[in-house]
Structure 1
Amino acid sequence: MTAFWAFLLEYQTHLIFGSGLLIGLLAAIHAAMTKRDVRAAIAWVGVVILSPFFGAFLYFLVGINRINRSRRLQHNEYLLQDHLNGKYRETGNIADISGPQFESLKKAGNKLSRFPIWSNNSITPLLGGDEAYAAMIAAIDSATKTIAMQSYIFDNDVIGKRIAQALVRARQRGVTVKVLIDAIGAKYSRPSITTLFKNTGIDVALFEAHFFSFKMPYSNLRCHRKILLIDGQLAFSGGMNIREGFTSEISQGTPMKDVHFQIRGPLVFQLLLVFFHDWSFTTHEKLMPANWISTPEPLPQSNTAARCITSGPDNDITSTHRLIQAACAVAQKHIRIQSPYFLPDQVLLGALNTAARRGIRVDILIPGKNNLYLVNCAMMAQLNQVLDSGCHVWRSNGPFDHSKLFTIDEGWALVGSSNWDARSLRLNFEVDIEVYDRTFSTRISQHIDGEIEKAVPVTRDTLKSISFLKQLRNKIIWLASPYL
């Protein structure tokens, strides 16, 4: 034993150096063999080579996607198929509803989403927190059987407390209430909103709470979905978190902007399955529709056809990303995009630039004031890549606008929780709604156009007028854009 310890002491430097090289080599091999994006593979291999110990530790902590939800997905597939056979039929007349060019987009979506397109939906935009939160609280107060709520951020502020109190009142009436909050989003407030639900009978769960433990699947992945479901008949979804800053009451008449959506019809069942999916993944409890849907209401008399598009680093990875590519490819007249965080990768930049070169009008609306300084700098560094091909970029006036809207030819729209950045399109769990309907798409397009009328255009001269030091700062920050 003495000889062994003497050996370790004599060659400890060599052993540490050798083990560092071995660990780094294993991490680099794993990154090269498993990463789908060559830029991510190169970046991780570079980090590991430059710092074998720290780089390998960082890679094993946040660089490996350990999420595998295929088994839990299968449970929801059965529920969807049973409901499809029993009640709804997939929409077939997309050309009549939206336009002939969208038939091919529907086929692409069929390959990317496990959900079919169902008609007879009612989807109502709610502009800002004043409309959205009031409608949500009224819906909670009307619940008779079940409430399922899911949010990335649920602040413990004036609005958060009002919604929490409404949920508590519902539970006191005998309504089953389950609340799912992302573990990171729950920490935006101190104390967390979860403290208000203690001893109320409401089931509260945190998505991926073990973000500093090797037990977590991946500390860098968050659940960015926002869903509220009432009795399995009424839903709210979109991009709006629970935060008082979106109300004029708290913000003294200048609230942050966003667009949320109130939904009735078959689409509500798809959103319910999305919640079941995430609840099961978080708590291992399987929920059944029969216990969550009250007496069915008559379907809305509407031709609005829609489906959920889920994306995330599991079976649905890059589904929204690929749908955006397909949508840009079928555009014949006009592409409109509104996103608070516009940092598309080279593939999506290529899709937009190709559309612009085909003569398609491409309008991109981003916030004039952004709540994330680094993202704003990175966006400014990249805008020349769309301006050079003829796309039009606008910066909104007024308060920060968190809206996430995308329309094609006033016949198709994509609304929901996804931003045009790597975090939304590759790292986070998101839910968006693909809508085939001329009336709905026109309304969203007109909303974007109305904001553009008040916006400031960004041109190549605008970018050139930025000082060299700020341009350099923006470019340096832009290098980290896949991780912002």
Structure 2
Amino acid sequence: MAIFFVIVTILALIYADDKLGEHFNKKKKAKTVYQERRSNLSFFIDGTQLFADYFAEIRKATHHIHILFYIVKTDEISQQFFQLLKQKAEEGVRVRLLVDWVGSFGFPKKLIRSLKESGVEFAYAHKPRFPFFFYRLNRRNHRKITVIDGKVGYIGGFNIGNEYVGRDPNFGQWRDYHLKIVGEGVCDLQTQFCRDWEEATKTSITKHRYFPSLQKGTVSHQLIATNGHSLEQQFIHFIRQATKEIVIGSPYFIPSRAVMNALLEALSRGVKVTILVPLKADHPFVKEAAYPYFYRLLKSGAHIYRFYQGFYHAKTMVIDEKCCDIGTANFDKRSMFLNSEMNCYIYDRPFVQRVKEAIQRDLARSERLTLDLWQKRTLWQRGKESLSSILSAWL
């Protein structure tokens, strides 16, 4: 009885901590809608190609390097990354590295000390602290932003680690979508990085030093940053625009009730809905949490595919042929209601067509989930799904 009382008390304190933290941090949850820009965009789907380009741009830096990642590992490719940052800092380039405290948990103190001794400025984003420890612990900075000399930017789904270049045998080929931005849009990535850095370190950045004049590019796009708020409405707005087709790619599919209803409504008006998720799972329960949603979608005529040639980690949505979303947000409740995310909405038909072609190639490496397969799930799988449904808001 005493143990039960202790457990209930702890859960009540965690719940109170979360709700009070949410109440006192409402202002921080406002989204930032940057203006529509024109930039030149490069589209990467392979980690080896991305990091070859990424490291080459870092090597060319002469003034500053600003980097934010959710996850940075300490493996082989990560060591190349750290050595490069230390080298640039020793050359006199201002290097700031920001990583999420939970996503990069266990970062060796020896490594942090080595980075700082070389001149790299290091900080944790969303480091939990009192008051509202559990509230802060559950909210992650999931953005992946890099800005080099204020002229070149990167954003998308890749983090830093061996699995992202296909070197982890547990995952095999890693499929992700990432953007390189050259042009007007870089200033918005820079603005967001500065805000996140200042929030994490409580120190200001002298802005005028990091915002060079930028020329317009050829692709129209818009960056939007969210902090556990408004992403749900953005997804619904996107879905309701569709007249022919919606394609969603995400490693995790746990939509809110409102987003789910928007998808079902789209199907009812004759819009083709295609959903691409991984066959493998990289976290406990997240794969199973999607299956209750799949049943209703399959019954309504949606096409659901499971990528089997490695792991599918891309975060994308394509609406007809006119616009697409590539960014850091997954199609799940954590991205909608908890995490800090940043997405790039692209309004350029030729670019959208390139993204659709990439998705078609990934669909060719996927198996289609049918109602018959769904109904043949084992009792063990169904049990995991029931538990996953309870935990879905925090997965």
What is the TM-score when the length of structure 1 is the normalising length? 0.76
Given that residues 102 and 137 in structure 2 are in contact (C-alpha distance below 8 angstroms), is that contact kept between their aligned partners in structure 1? no
- 2:315 match: 404
- Among 32, 35, 44, the alignment partner of 1:116 is 35
Shift of 1:323: 1.0
Which of 275, 278, 291 is residue 380 of structure 1 equivalent to?
A: 291
Q: Deviations over 1:312-347 (max 9, x none)?
A: 13xxx1x22111101111101110010000110111
The answer to whether 1:145 aligns with 2:101 is no
> Would the alpha carbon gap of residues 402 and 412 (structure 1) be closer, same or farther in structure 2, given more than 3 Å must change?
same
CA contact (8 A) 2:39 2:220 kept: yes
Instruction: Give the conservation status (yes or no) of the 8 Å contact 2:275–2:304.
Output: yes
CA contact (8 A) 1:72 1:280 kept: no
Does structure 1 retain, via aligned residues, the 8 Å contact 2:172–2:311? no
Give the match for residue 183 of structure 1: 101
Match of 1:307 among 214, 218, 222: 222
How far the C-alpha of 1:478 sits from its partner, in A, is 1.6
Is 1:290 the equivalent of 2:201?
A: no
* Greater relative contact order (Cα < 8 A, sep 6+): 2
Counterpart of 1:95 in structure 2 is none
Distance 2:276 2:110 in 1: 33
Q: Contact 1:157–1:243 at 8 Å: present in 2 too?
A: yes
Return the offset for 1:254.
3.4
Give matches, 1:393-472, under 5 Å.
Answer: 393-472=304-383
CA deviation digits over 1:329-373, x for unaligned, max 9?
110111001000011011111111111111111000010112123
Aligned pair partner of 1:333 in 236, 244, 265: 244
Report the 3-state secondary structure (helix = DSSP H, G, I; strand = E; otherwise coil) of the residue aligned with 1:369. coil
Structure 1 gap segments, 5+ residues each: 1-15, 17-46, 74-111
In 2: Cα distance, 1:445 partner to 1:140 partner? 29
Counterpart mapping for 1:78-93 below 5 A: none
SS at match of 2:33: coil
Distance 1:340 1:237, change over 3 A: same
SS of 2:79's equivalent in the other structure is: helix
Higher strand proportion, which one? Answer: 2
Q: Could you say which residue in structure 2 is the equivalent of 1:363? A: 274
Task: Please list, as runs of the form range in 1=range in 2, the aligned pairs for 1:131-280 lying within 5 A after superposition.
Answer: 131-187=49-105, 193-211=111-129, 213-214=130-131, 216=133, 218-248=136-166, 254-280=172-198
The one-letter amino acid paired with 2:99 is I
Deviation at 1:248, TM superposition (A): 4.1
Contact 1:186–1:193 under 8 Å retained in 2: no
Q: What amino acid does structure 2 have at the position aligned with 1:461?
A: D
Alpha-carbon distance in structure 1 between the residues aligned to 2:167 and 2:265: 44
Structure 2 counterpart of 1:108: none
Query: Do the aligned partners of 2:308 and 2:367 also contact (CA within 8 Å) in 1?
Result: yes
Whether the 8 Å contact between 1:338 and 1:403 is mirrored in structure 2 is yes
Q: Give distance in 2, aligned partners of 1:55 and 1:251.
A: 38
Aligned CA RMSD, in angstroms, stands at 2.6
The letter for the 1-side match of 2:15 is: Y
1:258 deviates by 1.2
Deviation at 1:481, TM superposition (A): 0.7
**Distance verdict in 2 for CA 1:422–1:192, change over 3 Å:** farther
User: Between Structure 1 and Structure 2, how many residues are aligned?
Assistant: 391
Residues 13-65 of structure 1: per-residue CA shift (max 9 Å, x gap) = xxx9xxxxxxxxxxxxxxxxxxxxxxxxxxxxxx99x9762232111334433
Q: 1:268 to 1:56 in 2, by over 3 A?
A: same
**Residues 268 and 478 of structure 1: CA distance in aligned 2, closer, same or farther (over 3 Å):** same
Q: 1:310 to 1:63 in 2, by over 3 A?
A: same
In the alignment, the residues of structure 1 paired with residue 315 and residue 298 of structure 2 have an alpha-carbon distance, to the nearest angstrom, of: 21
1:366/1:265 Cα in 2 relative to 1: closer, same or farther (>3 Å)?
Answer: same
Q: Which residue of 2 aligns with 1:128?
A: 46
**2:36 aligned partner, one-letter code:** I
Q: Of Structure 1 and Structure 2, which has the larger fraction of its residues in helix?
A: 1
Report the Cα offset of residue 200 of structure 1.
Answer: 1.3
The answer for the alignment partner of 1:91 in structure 2 is none
User: For 1:271-298, what per-residue CA distance to the aligned partner results, in whole angstroms no more than 9, with x for missing partners?
Assistant: 111101111111122223321135x454
Deviation at 1:477, TM superposition (A): 2.0
**1:17-56 correspondence to structure 2 within 5 Å:** 53-56=9-12
Larger radius of gyration: 1
Q: Check the 8 A contact 2:171/2:311 in 1, yes or no.
A: no
**More displaced 10-residue stretch of structure 1: 471-480 or 399-408:** 471-480
In structure 2, the partner of 1:57 is 13
For structure 2, the residue ranges without an aligned partner over 5 or more in a row are: none
